[in-house]
Structure 1
Amino acid sequence: MKLNTLKTVAAAAATAVVVSLSPALAQDSDLQRILDEKVVRVGAVEAYPSYRQDLASGEWEGIYPEIVEALFSQIGVEVEFVPTEWGTAAAGLQSGRFDLIGGFSARPERALVVAFTDPVAQVPVGVAFSSEENASLATNWDSLNNSDVRIAVADGSATMRMVQKMAPNATFVPVKTEDAAILELESDRVDFFASTESSLTLYGRARADAVTVNYPEPKIGQDSGFALRKAQPEFQDWLTVSLNSMVSDGTIPAIRSKFLNPQE
């Protein structure tokens, strides 16, 4: 009798512990909070065609806004965009300002502080230039590896780190946004604007009469995916499975093509 009583007490105690822990576990789960609140906060950087905010409406458009809208609409979750910059995006994730950010390339130093999904695309990195005198320099990274060469790039971006590795002796002009980097080039304050194929394709098309885009040898590129806070395995698994499905069924390739190869 005493043994049965002890078992009953022990079982009740165990149940109490589970019940008391469950709210804490739920509170620590980004995925559960998102499902409960039906809102996900997504970091957004002014870097078209990846992201762009319409100044009149305040709405965000671009490759990654369209991907996340398609992704979270499947589970009835509203997307709320939070403006940020590439250089402060990791801190924004860590502090909880937003839950994830797309177009954030996986790099060893970044992986120390945030988690990543599988890539949704592989994106080449290259340069744009306006002076034909620079055409020969743009053929390979060794030619760009000179202190006389000035390269504008978005500060804190994966592109900046990659290009600095390929041409460490070049003079880099880090600016807050890609629009600012383009202004540096068009004002003749730099020789090159370095970015990903996504941005270079649209810029080169828009300024075909004045700008040339090239991808120096050896070819380099980024695995572009989504970043989220560390220690969120359920959210990371769900994102990876869902995004891989959207790549396989053609949803993400179609979105990328829509912005990179718009119909004339």
Structure 2
Amino acid sequence: MARRLSRSQSLRAVLGSLAIAGALLWQPAAQAEQAGVWQQVQKAGVLKCGAAVAAPYVMRDAASAKYSGYFVDLCRDFGERVLKVKVEFVDTNWDNLVAGLQGGKWDLAMALNQTPERALAVAFSTAATDYQISLLLNKDNPKLAQAGETLTDYDKPGVTFAVMSGTAADKAISAVIKQGTVMRLPGMDETRLAVMSRRADVLVDASDTNHLFAIANPTWAKEVMPKPALAKQGVAFGVRRDISWVDMQVLNIYLTQRRETGEIAALVDKASEQVNAQKAP
């Protein structure tokens, strides 16, 4: 037998139903209000991309100040073709790339490695490409004649690893080398010169840049992809953490489609050829 509700119980039930309905109506409205990053960019008429130089991701011609590289191509294409706005590249460095994004100086930070520490400060798009640290050595180096693909083959007393100070490669190699010596240098050119002059035995850098260097120096250079993989991470666009799910989807769908069709791989090849052409005598 059904129990009849009192007037007060009926009123509470009606009010509860109205509250639930109001909450459901409010959620799409709140989401729509938050989904404004790309709308703001379109209103301003310009997409600003923070640019810290690291070939072949982001490159800058010293004479013309023009930017190139495959993340530059992606940023330009996303702004012009998807958002229908002009694209502006804002010069910065790796120390300030995340801070500038947080401060609203640019809308996208290009070529950020996806790390848990950075994810505390910014949000990441889906990865455009993958990052992994590799080893580059002189294949005639007698110290490494028997070395294979494991890090223990290289982590020996008397073996020196050259790495750019403060980079992801520096952090990764410093955590695993116990017997060898880590030589920290201020720039990529210095690390390469150290290996070329044999002041160092192993160059530790991103696999794509080491691959380019090996291709440019086939007579002596050998690249090794250590197993297990060292610091394998996605390389993505950084965006503000308050970006809405809707706006993030726009960028992620764009990147996924371009990666799956092989277009990003083609952009990587183009940027790599450019780097090698610039270094050719």
TM-score where L is the length of structure 2? 0.73
After superposition, the CA RMSD in angstroms is: 3.1
Q: Deviation of residue 247 (structure 1)?
A: 1.5
Q: CA separation in 2, counterparts of 1:147 and 1:80?
A: 49
Residue 222 of structure 1 is aligned with which of 215, 233, 237? 233
1:64 aligned partner: 71
Aligned-partner Cα distance in 2 for 1:90–1:196: 20
Query: Helix, strand or coil for the counterpart of 1:139?
Result: coil
Q: Which residue of 2 aligns with 1:244?
A: 256
Q: Tell me the equivalent position of 1:256.
A: 268
Identify the range of structure 1 (152-161 vs 204-213) with the bigger mean alpha-carbon deviation: 152-161
Once the 2 structures are TM-superposed, how far is the Cα of residue 205 of structure 1 from its aligned partner?
0.9
Query: Which residue of the partner structure matches residue 47 of structure 2?
Result: 40
Cα shift readout 1:161-208 (whole Å, capped 9, x = no counterpart): 333333366543444543343233334443322122211111111122
1:52 corresponds to: 59
8 A contact 1:50–1:198 mirrored in 2: no
Q: Helix, strand or coil for the counterpart of 1:238?
A: helix
Matched, 1:140 2:150: yes
Corresponding letter in the other structure for 1:161: K
Q: Which amino acid aligns with 1:256?
A: V
Preserved CA contact (<8 Å) 2:52 2:110: no
Identify the residue that residue 88 of structure 2 maps to in structure 1: 80
Match of 2:13 in 1: none
Shift of 1:90: 2.0
Query: Per-residue CA shift, 1:133-168, capped at 9, x if unaligned?
Result: 343456321244457443333344333333333336
Structure 1 counterpart of 2:48, one-letter code: R
Alignment-mate amino acid for residue 233 of structure 2: Q
Segments of structure 2 that go 5 or more residues without pairing to the other structure are 1-29
Corresponding residue number in structure 2 for 1:3: none
Separation (CA, whole Å) in 2 of partners of 1:81 and 1:169: 43
Cα offset for 1:71? 1.8
SS in 2 for 1:226: strand
Q: Contact 2:143/2:159 (CA < 8 Å) preserved in 1?
A: no
Distance in 2 (CA, whole Å) between partners of 1:187 and 1:49 is: 24
The aligned runs of 1:170-185 (5 Å cut-off) are 170-185=180-195
Q: CA deviation at 1:106?
A: 0.7
Matched, 1:152 2:162: yes
Which of 188, 213, 221 is matched with 1:211 structurally? 221
Alignment of 1:84-163 (within 5 A): 84-130=92-138, 132-135=141-144, 136-137=146-147, 139-145=149-155, 148-163=158-173
What is the aligned partner in structure 1 of residue 10 from structure 2? none
Q: How many residues align?
A: 242
Displacement after TM superposition at 1:50 (Å): 1.5
Would the aligned equivalents of 1:87 and 1:156 in 2 still touch at CA under 8 Å? no
Over alpha carbons, which structure has the higher Rg? Answer: 2
Structure 1 residue 62 displacement after superposition: 1.2
Kindly report structure 1 stretches of 4+ aligned residues shifted beyond 6 Å.
261-264
Residue 64 of structure 1 deviates from its aligned partner by 1.0
Q: Alpha-carbon deviation of 1:116?
A: 0.4
Deviates more, 1:156-165 or 1:200-209: 156-165
Distance in 2 (alpha carbons) for counterparts of 1:39 and 1:247? 25
Q: Is the 8 A contact 2:98 2:109 kept in 1?
A: no
CA contact (8 A) 1:62 1:259 kept: yes
Using structure 1 for the length normalisation, give the TM-score.
Answer: 0.77
Distance 1:36 1:169 in 2: 57
Distance 1:61 1:180 in 2: 23
CA 1:124–1:200 in 2, change beyond 3 Å: closer, same or farther?
A: same
What residue ranges of structure 1 are gaps of 5+ in the alignment?
A: 1-21
